[in-house]
Structure 1
Amino acid sequence: LTQLTDQLRDNLPEVKKGIKILGVMDFIRAKARFGIDFNCTCPELSKSQKILWQQARHPILESALKEQGKKIVPLHLSLSREKRVLLISGPNAGGKSVCIKTIGLLQYMAQCGLPVSVSESSEFGTFHSIFIDIGDEQSLENDLSTYSSHLTNMKYFLENASRNTLFLIDEFGTGTEPQFGGAIAEVVLLELNQAQAFGAITTHYGNLKKAADKEKNIVNAAMKFDVKRLEPMYELEIGKPGSSFALEIAGKIGLNPKMLDRAKKKAGISHVQFDRLLSELESEKNQIAKEKKALDAKNGRLTAAIKDYEDLKKYLEKEKTKVLKQAKEEASRLIQTSNKKIEATIKEIKESEADQRRTAQAREALKAHAEKVVKSESKKVSEKIIEKGPIQIGDKVQLKSGAVGEVESIKGKQAEILLGGLKSRVKLEELVKISSKEFKKSTDHRVQQMTGINLNDKMASFSSTLDIRGVRAEEAIGKVEYYIDEALLLGHTEVKILHGKGHGVLRELVRNVLRENHKIISAKDEHVEHGGAGITVVTLDN
């Protein structure tokens, strides 16, 4: 060891430099590995103060839930100069504290140059100071009670807060008598807002929720709660206050209903009504959200159907004009040819001075020409006619207008036929059978007329996997619906949709879209070795 030390001593400066470089490289590699493990991004920091985050996740909580086989629910946060302070309310164990801890941790990580667990569309500002009051700072050594420690922190916040400050306060105003604690907390909140500082606060106090509604720079937010199952949903909803659901949770735990009734009376009718109103609003909000989602899906399908109808109508109008034009041209040609033949016959009769033999020959020639014209026209029709006899269900038919379709049902003297994606009732006498070959030729021509699609180019450029990771919900729905339509058009029987695992919201959204398409046979997770729940394998009825 002494000899080794002697050898190192002469090269000590180089060894120290090498150790420093290795440390820097190890640190950079550790950041990169962390970013990969938690699907992080490296956002650009702007000099202004703002928080516009999508899919924000607390990495420690995400890791703990992953070990338990659970998925984290990401947060969507928005703080700007106009709406600087977020007042978060809601039930206990609903995720309020985790929310403000996520804000503090991710903002600090970003300003330290670390990758952060948010989506790429997120935007980060820069804060010169971050003030945090989370947890119980009670101290025997410093003779501080819980409330005293909170007040000490509030005093420091008020003295040092500025427009470049981010403050995070958990359970604002607790630790003393609610009547006075709520009043002091409201005054402190208004002063921090006056200092133009940014912040997020969790609370149960009703007076703070009312103050947030009145102050233009403070916005209420709530951790969503499933009223029917009495379970937290861990989703942050900005724009309205949340209820603590104290009475409901107590009832679920099993407290005596008579005790709860006495508690309601002691709390006062106004407090109970306010809390009940918030509970009812939460329930109605969830119901409206579900109905809106279903309505949006129906509107999307209706819009697509209207477009198909308009395209088909344009095509039929165009074909009608084209067929009439062709018929007129053909009739004109036949008339001209026949007139010429008649004139020639008359001339020949005149020149032969009504010779019976020559006249008879001319008449025979004219008769032969007429039969030739009839046969020629009959041949054109016979190429489309399969056989004589009544039209039956499943027959390919052509309307007098030129449009082609397939008979779906027959009722009396009318048939219901499928024209493209539309059904129409037509009299049987206006239909004629055509061959499958002619039907395919006509429909292929219609598709080309309507869409101008080059199927060869489509087939060559089509990918069997659709990647929608990081795409917003509304855009993802459109992409999936268009992709499935294209796959069906090109005759594919199986495709894959890459949505990532994450918290499972995008995966569930994709599955809901697929369930509404009757052409989907099945939609299931990919094999665990090839992506598992991050990829949906879709089997198509083609």
Structure 2
Amino acid sequence: MIYPQNFEQKTGFDKVRQLISDKCLSPLGQERVIDMGFESEMDTVSNRLAQTEEFVRILHGDKEFPSSYFFDVRYSLKRIRPEGTYLDEKELYDLKRSLQTINDIVRFFHPGNSESDEILYPALTRLAGDVLVFPQLVGKIDSILDKYGRVKDNASPVLMQIRREITVTMSGISKSLQSILRAAQSEGVVDKDVTPTMRDGRLVIPVAPAFKRKIRGIVHDESASGRTVFIEPAEVVEANNRIRELEGDERREIIRILTEFTNLVRPMVPDILYSYEFMAEIDFIRAKALFADQIKGIRPIVEDKQQVDWARAIHPLLYLSLQKQHKEVIPLDIELNPDKRILIISGPNAGGKSVCLKTVGLLQYMLQCGLLIPIHESSRTGIFKSIFIDIGDEQSIENDLSTYSSHLTNMKHFVRNCDEKTIILIDEFGSGTEPQIGGAIAEALLDRFNRNGSYGVITTHYQNLKHFAEDTPGIVNGAMLYDRHLMQPLFKLSIGNPGSSFAIEIARKIGLPEDVIAEASSKVGSEYIDMDKYLQDIVRDKRYWEGKRQNIRQQEKKLEEITARYQQDLEEVNKQRKEIMRTAKAEAQRIMAEANAKIENTIREIKEAQAEKERTRMARKALDEFKESVLSQEDANDSIAIKMAKLKERQEKKKQKQTGQPLAKPQFNREVIETGDSVRLKGQTTHGTVLEINGKQASVAFGMIKSTVKLELLEKVSKNQIKKEIQKSTFISTQTADDMHEKKLNFRQEIDVRGMRGDEALQSVIYFIDDAIQVGAGRVRILHGTGTGALRQIIRDYLKTVPGVHHFQDEHVQFGGAGITVVELD
């Protein structure tokens, strides 16, 4: 139930309806928009939302949806129900194209016949499931009409014969007229540039009035100025009469063909009309999806219960209005649940109370009309059976009702009909009469709404309602925030405490005399002024602590991410350490076994040699050689130690980073690559900077290009080495000078990167600018096209970083404009 009758006008839904209607392709969809209404059945609402959400996905998909020919031919189909009537050529042409569109739409949702095919759009596929298509009928129309919607020559043998005879006769008339015209021109009766023309469907010759007696024939017409008469020569009168007869025969044959086809269509009219109802529904859903795309609407979580748990809800009409002014709307966070069903919003005038109330009313109504709404995806919505609204000046001269009487009339309806499935929206509750009695009546009504279990959003300035909400379960206070220092509203809703009207502050800002403000303050008493001030202080403190809490949440989240990453790295380190220790132990055991065997063998040889000097010397030499091999193995073990040192150093750095201790200046170690180090690809000369290391891969910035490279492909480069290579690169050999001269001769002043991907185009521009600077080009052009402007922006961002670029700008509009960047080089 929706109350009152002008609910849509009060919430702005009438404008939403018009915006959706404007997006329809035909009257078919527009009629559906007019019939769109409030639904309280969960299944119906969910199905409508699913259909609209699926169509939004279609709009953003790669496959184009067939929406070319949404023609409304229902009137024509209903008109041919009596025998003897027929569809004319235009109606038949529209029927053919729209039936083809319906066929294409059904095939869009049923692309294959295999049961294993994935159904991408289940709700829309169900909608298209029972729709009949008429491919044979479309084929029959194709055999009658050509691609321009005219009846074909071969639509029947009789029609072909008639049109062939018309062509032959017209050709004969044209030849005769040309002969007569040439003779008249040679006699000077007709000007040289005159050609035959058509009057009343007959070919005639334009002649000056003074010479009309010179040509024998019938005068059919004269020009508006009277300076030209149009004569049909007697020689072609009979042929023109024959043309008229043949045209009549042609028209009768066309009507016969159309009537015959219409007799074939007539029994199918009910099924065809049902297919057009499907087209109307698709047109309607498409318009809803386009509107949802325009307002950034989504399909929220909908539950079959009464609730409002919305995050970042936006009034769609306000969003569209501010978007045109390049402004942003401030979103609304609001929650109504069984424990806090009624929200009493207070605060200063022009602080956003009414906008908040209208946002709730409009979005809930849109949702239950099957429209996607602009809220955050984490929001949870419910279904209400009734929505009641009381907003604005309802003064009625016709019914002799004052504003307050009109409000009370609405309240009478609310009290009689509200229940636990009703949401009530009241603006400026209790206003319009003497404050004390108005506040008392409002409090009694509020108590009744609460006892009936209703939900609601109510705005007010009355203090007694704020106190009542504070002390009554089921009702909660809320405040529209206001910046007391800047004296301007923040348009943000804070639930939990009542708001101040800031009447004294606003009066002082406007410039009301201070003595008047002091007198007013004394009349209401210090207790009221202090209470208002306390409310302001509470709101201010709440904002402060909310900000603090938000910062703490962000820091905790960041800390959790760092801890998780550290734990992952630590596990990886322990795994590597265990592997290294296992390998080292195995190697040590092998070395010890070989050493023992070698020593024992050497001792045996010395004993067997019985102290012969040469044999002893050979044995000692073999032992020394083995010692050197062991030392080389120790060097290998040293590499293991280096790896261990790397891991240890990484752990120390992480600990120091978390504890805030200053990092010791690291020694240059070629084997260890860390964030911030200068590196290059092995075998390459281009230097880059390590931005981030993730496991065995590193994110490296080579100039403006960011790449992810395996660590094993990189080698660390010291700053001194970079300087030496730069100095070394400044030496120019004779061969290099010759190459530079050749490059200068072959250098082109412009490059075309249109159609390239961003990274590919940027790499080409980098090489091009480098070459331009090397050959000393003063001015070059980069052709990138206009398009979306993304390629142009990437290129210009790079040019800003090049020291050799003095200036760049758009090319002159005559030579390409914004599609070409002209670069001036130093």
Contact 1:40 1:119 in 2 (8 A): no
- C-alpha distance in 2 between matches for 1:153 and 1:198: 16
Contact 2:497 2:539 in 1 (8 A): no
Q: Which residue of 1 aligns with 2:605?
A: 348
- C-alpha distance in 2 between matches for 1:137 and 1:66: 31
Counterparts of 1:30-109 in structure 2, within 5 Å, are 30-41=287-298, 46-109=303-366
Residue 361 to residue 90, structure 1, CA distance change in 2 (3 Å):
same
Alpha-carbon deviation of 1:8?
A: 7.1
SS in 2 for 1:113: coil
Corresponding position: 1:143 with 2:400: yes
Alpha-carbon deviation of 1:189?
A: 0.3
Alpha-carbon deviation of 1:399?
A: 8.2
- C-alpha distance in 1 between matches for 2:707 and 2:652: 22
Corresponding position: 1:277 with 2:277: no
Q: Which amino acid aligns with 1:84?
A: R
Q: Which residue of 2 aligns with 1:199?
A: 456
Contact 2:346 2:498 in 1 (8 A): yes
Q: Which residue of 1 aligns with 2:471?
A: 214
SS in 1 for 2:617: helix
Residue 146 to residue 318, structure 1, CA distance change in 2 (3 Å):
same
Match among 301, 309, 325 for residue 558 of structure 2: 301
Alpha-carbon deviation of 1:203?
A: 0.5
Counterparts of 1:251-266 in structure 2, within 5 Å, are 251-266=508-523
Counterparts of 1:96-245 in structure 2, within 5 Å, are 96-245=353-502
Query: TM-score under structure 1 normalisation?
Result: 0.67
- C-alpha distance in 1 between matches for 2:481 and 2:576: 56
Q: Which amino acid aligns with 1:110?
A: L
- C-alpha distance in 1 between matches for 2:389 and 2:398: 21
Contact 1:226 1:232 in 2 (8 A): yes
Percent of residue pairs identical: 39
**The 10-residue stretch of structure 1 (181-190 or 278-287) with the greater mean CA deviation from structure 2:** 278-287
- C-alpha distance in 2 between matches for 1:454 and 1:378: 25
SS in 2 for 1:220: strand
Residue 433 to residue 108, structure 1, CA distance change in 2 (3 Å):
closer
Contact 2:646 2:672 in 1 (8 A): no
Q: Which residue of 2 aligns with 1:514?
A: none
Alpha-carbon deviation of 1:35?
A: 2.6
- C-alpha distance in 2 between matches for 1:528 and 1:251: 54
**The 10-residue stretch of structure 1 (277-286 or 71-80) with the greater mean CA deviation from structure 2:** 71-80
Contact 1:163 1:197 in 2 (8 A): yes
Listed one character per residue, the Cα deviations across residues 470-507 of structure 1 (whole Å, up to 9, x for unaligned) are xxxxxxxxxxxxxxxxx88669xx99xxxxxxxxxxxx
Corresponding position: 1:248 with 2:481: no
Q: Which residue of 2 aligns with 1:480?
A: none
Residue 265 to residue 401, structure 1, CA distance change in 2 (3 Å):
same
- C-alpha distance in 2 between matches for 1:351 and 1:20: 112
Alpha-carbon deviation of 1:109?
A: 2.9
Q: Which residue of 2 aligns with 1:289?
A: 546
Contact 1:399 1:432 in 2 (8 A): no
Q: Which residue of 2 aligns with 1:373?
A: 630
**The 10-residue stretch of structure 1 (254-263 or 128-137) with the greater mean CA deviation from structure 2:** 254-263
Alpha-carbon deviation of 1:244?
A: 1.3
Alpha-carbon deviation of 1:96?
A: 1.0
Residue 26 to residue 349, structure 1, CA distance change in 2 (3 Å):
closer
- C-alpha distance in 1 between matches for 2:520 and 2:558: 51
Residue 359 to residue 299, structure 1, CA distance change in 2 (3 Å):
same
- C-alpha distance in 2 between matches for 1:311 and 1:30: 50
Alpha-carbon deviation of 1:528?
A: 11
Residue 283 to residue 27, structure 1, CA distance change in 2 (3 Å):
same
Listed one character per residue, the Cα deviations across residues 358-385 of structure 1 (whole Å, up to 9, x for unaligned) are 333323332333244335534765x89x
Contact 1:230 1:249 in 2 (8 A): yes
Residue 321 to residue 220, structure 1, CA distance change in 2 (3 Å):
same
Alpha-carbon deviation of 1:201?
A: 0.7
Alpha-carbon deviation of 1:174?
A: 0.9
Residue 342 to residue 419, structure 1, CA distance change in 2 (3 Å):
farther
- C-alpha distance in 1 between matches for 2:448 and 2:535: 27
- C-alpha distance in 2 between matches for 1:122 and 1:177: 40
- C-alpha distance in 1 between matches for 2:386 and 2:488: 36
Counterparts of 1:348-427 in structure 2, within 5 Å, are 348-378=605-635, 381=638, 398=642, 401=645, 403=647
Q: Which amino acid aligns with 2:544?
A: Q
Q: Which amino acid aligns with 2:335?
A: S
Alpha-carbon deviation of 1:173?
A: 0.8
- C-alpha distance in 1 between matches for 2:577 and 2:382: 62
Listed one character per residue, the Cα deviations across residues 233-282 of structure 1 (whole Å, up to 9, x for unaligned) are 22222222211111122222222333323322222222212211111122
Corresponding position: 1:334 with 2:601: no
- C-alpha distance in 1 between matches for 2:285 and 2:629: 90
Alpha-carbon deviation of 1:137?
A: 1.8
Q: Which amino acid aligns with 2:353?
A: K
Alpha-carbon deviation of 1:185?
A: 0.9
**The 10-residue stretch of structure 1 (325-334 or 30-39) with the greater mean CA deviation from structure 2:** 325-334
Residue 109 to residue 378, structure 1, CA distance change in 2 (3 Å):
closer
Alpha-carbon deviation of 1:146?
A: 2.3
Alpha-carbon deviation of 1:25?
A: 6.1
Residue 361 to residue 268, structure 1, CA distance change in 2 (3 Å):
same
Q: Which amino acid aligns with 1:249?
A: I
Contact 2:584 2:637 in 1 (8 A): no
- C-alpha distance in 1 between matches for 2:412 and 2:394: 15
Query: TM-score under structure 2 normalisation?
Result: 0.46
Alpha-carbon deviation of 1:54?
A: 3.5
Alpha-carbon deviation of 1:290?
A: 2.4
Residue 371 to residue 215, structure 1, CA distance change in 2 (3 Å):
same
Contact 2:656 2:662 in 1 (8 A): no
Alpha-carbon deviation of 1:420?
A: 9.9
Q: Which residue of 1 aligns with 2:60?
A: none
- C-alpha distance in 1 between matches for 2:393 and 2:664: 83
Alpha-carbon deviation of 1:289?
A: 2.4
Listed one character per residue, the Cα deviations across residues 335-377 of structure 1 (whole Å, up to 9, x for unaligned) are 3322222221221222233334433332333233324433553
Alpha-carbon deviation of 1:319?
A: 5.3
State the structure with more CA Rg: 2
Residue 400 to residue 44, structure 1, CA distance change in 2 (3 Å):
closer
RMSD: 4.5
Contact 1:312 1:420 in 2 (8 A): no
- C-alpha distance in 2 between matches for 1:58 and 1:337: 83
Alpha-carbon deviation of 1:217?
A: 0.9
Q: Which amino acid aligns with 1:182?
A: G
SS in 2 for 1:247: helix
Alpha-carbon deviation of 1:186?
A: 0.8
Q: Which runs of 5+ in 2 are unaligned?
A: 1-75, 87-265, 680-692, 701-705, 711-757, 760-785, 791-796, 802-826
Q: Which amino acid aligns with 1:87?
A: I
Q: Which residue of 2 aligns with 1:439?
A: 672
Listed one character per residue, the Cα deviations across residues 384-434 of structure 1 (whole Å, up to 9, x for unaligned) are 9xxxxxxxxxxxx9487564759xxxxxxxxx9857985999999xx9975
- C-alpha distance in 2 between matches for 1:307 and 1:44: 31
Alpha-carbon deviation of 1:218?
A: 1.0
